[in-house]
């Protein structure tokens, strides 16, 4: 298996370095992944961090979304149970493998790997700027996923008074918690009137109770499309998009019995100081607002 094209397709850029994963190296050298990793474990002193490192769960999930590690995700217990986090070997780590894996096949494959890394080194040198930007973007996406995951988990644990509130710039977490509490209150229907929505609003409404209908009144030029509506309904029915240019302020109506006036577009919660207030005379206010849209 010394096809250079096949090997080239298995070289990834992770943490700004060219690496190959244990599964792919095991296949090249004719080992099972378990047996390959056992050989490495038996010689672990030869593989410091600059030669070998273990991927994080976030890195595995990111590569899976990029269609790179789909088979690992399917076989590693990512959907429950123990998670298999692959080992990544740098070019120096692969050279060190040559001293650990012996035999005629190992020698042949090692030579093929050396040739391919030499070729890839030239390619990366010529395209360093572009590759570094891609790597930085991947790192930021992983960090973003980690932060969003932390926010969502905290939101599910805490409750904030939902009658009224003021949130200063930077209180993004508190603002999201307040919104999440309102959404979870709904038993039958949520109506949002907001001229400026985006896909983050749909992420919030995905947390609603099963069977709760969501109606959103927004501008015709909203970034959320009918395709987004269809995709949302495939998982979290039911969302109905309606269009209006009659409204300036934002309102959230829960089960046609509570109405909240919100001082900022929900997509911008916590970015600047804003407040929300539960309006009195709810039925009169609800009828007035719905007649206006």
Query: For 235-271, how does the pLDDT look when each residue is reduced to its tens digit (9 = 90+)?
Result: 999 999 999 999 888 999 999 999 998 877 877 765 6
Residue with more model confidence, 228 or 160 = 228
Q: Are residues 243 and 285 in the same domain?
A: yes
Higher pLDDT: 28 or 146? It is 28
- Look up residue 85 and give its DSSP letter: -
Same domain, 27 and 91: yes
Provide the residue range defining the domain that includes 138: 4-145
Choose the final residue of a domain: 93, 118, 145.
145
Question: What pLDDT digit, counting tens, does each position of 43-101 carry?
Answer: 999 999 989 999 998 888 877 766 555 555 444 444 444 457 899 998 888 888 877 87
Can you tell me the distance from the alpha carbon of 11 to that of 82, in angstroms, rounded to the nearest whole number? 26
Euclidean distance between CA atoms 52 and 40, whole angstroms: 10
Residue 261 contacts residue 282 (beta carbons within 8 Å): no
Q: Would the CA dihedral through 92, 97, 100, 102 be positive or negative?
A: negative
Instruction: For residue 55, tell me if it sits in a domain.
Output: yes
What is the distance between the alpha carbons of residues 62 and 80, in angstroms, rounded to a whole number? 17
d(CA 267, CA 271): 9
Query: What residues have CB less than 8 Å from 106, skipping those under 6 apart?
Result: 29, 98
Let me know whether 141 and 35 are in one domain.
Answer: yes
Conformational region of residue 157, where left means phi above 0, alpha means psi within -120 to 50, and beta covers everything else: alpha
Total domains in the fold of the chain:
2
Residue 61 belongs to a domain: yes
pTM (2 d.p.): 0.45
Question: Which structure tokens are listed for 252?
Answer: 């959230």
What lies within 8 Å, CB to CB, of 16 at 6+ separation is: 132, 135
Picking from 281, 251, 277, 253, the residue whose alpha carbon sits closest to that of residue 266 is: 251
Same domain, 120 and 219: no
User: For the chain, how are helix, strand and coil distributed in percent, rounded to 5?
Assistant: 50, 15, 35
pLDDT one-digit tens code per residue, 207-237: 899 999 999 999 999 889 989 999 999 999 9
- Among 92, 119, 145, the domain-final residue is 145
Q: How large is the average pLDDT for residues 186-208?
A: 91
Assess contact for 276 and 261: CB atoms under 8 A: yes
> Do residue 20 and residue 138 come from a single domain?
yes
């Amino acid at each position: 298996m010394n096809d250079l094209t096949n090997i080239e397709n298995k070289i990834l850029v992770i943490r700004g370095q060219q690496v190959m994963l244990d599964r792919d190296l095991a296949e090249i050298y004719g080992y099972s992944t378990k047996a390959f990793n056992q050989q490495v474990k038996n010689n672990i002193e030869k593989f410091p961090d600059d030669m070998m490192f273990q991927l994080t769960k976030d890195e595995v999930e990111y590569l899976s979304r990029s269609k790179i590690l789909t088979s690992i995700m399917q076989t590693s217990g990512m959907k429950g149970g123990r998670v298999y986090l692959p080992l990544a070997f740098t070019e120096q780590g692969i050279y060190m493998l040559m001293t650990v894996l012996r035999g005629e096949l190992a020698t042949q494959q090692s030579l093929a790997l050396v040739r391919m890394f030499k070729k890839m080194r030239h390619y990366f040198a010529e395209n360093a700027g572009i590759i570094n930007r891609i790597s930085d973007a991947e790192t930021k996406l992983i960090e973003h996923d980690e932060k969003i995951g932390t926010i969502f988990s905290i939101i599910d644990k805490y409750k904030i008074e939902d009658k009224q509130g003021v949130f200063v710039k930077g209180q993004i977490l508190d603002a999201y918690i307040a919104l999440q509490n309102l959404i979870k209150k709904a038993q039958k229907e949520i109506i949002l009137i907001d001229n400026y929505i985006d896909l983050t609003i749909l992420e919030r409404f995905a947390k609603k109770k099963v069977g709760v209908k969501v109606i959103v009144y927004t501008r015709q030029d909203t970034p959320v499309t009918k395709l987004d509506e269809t995709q949302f309904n495939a998982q979290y029915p039911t969302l109905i998009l309606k269009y209006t240019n009659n409204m300036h302020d934002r309102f959230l109506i829960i089960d046609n019995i509570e109405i909240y006036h919100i001082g900022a577009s929900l997509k911008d919660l916590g970015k600047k100081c804003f407040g929300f207030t539960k309006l009195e005379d709810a039925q009169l206010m609800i009828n007035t607002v719905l007649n206006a849209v």
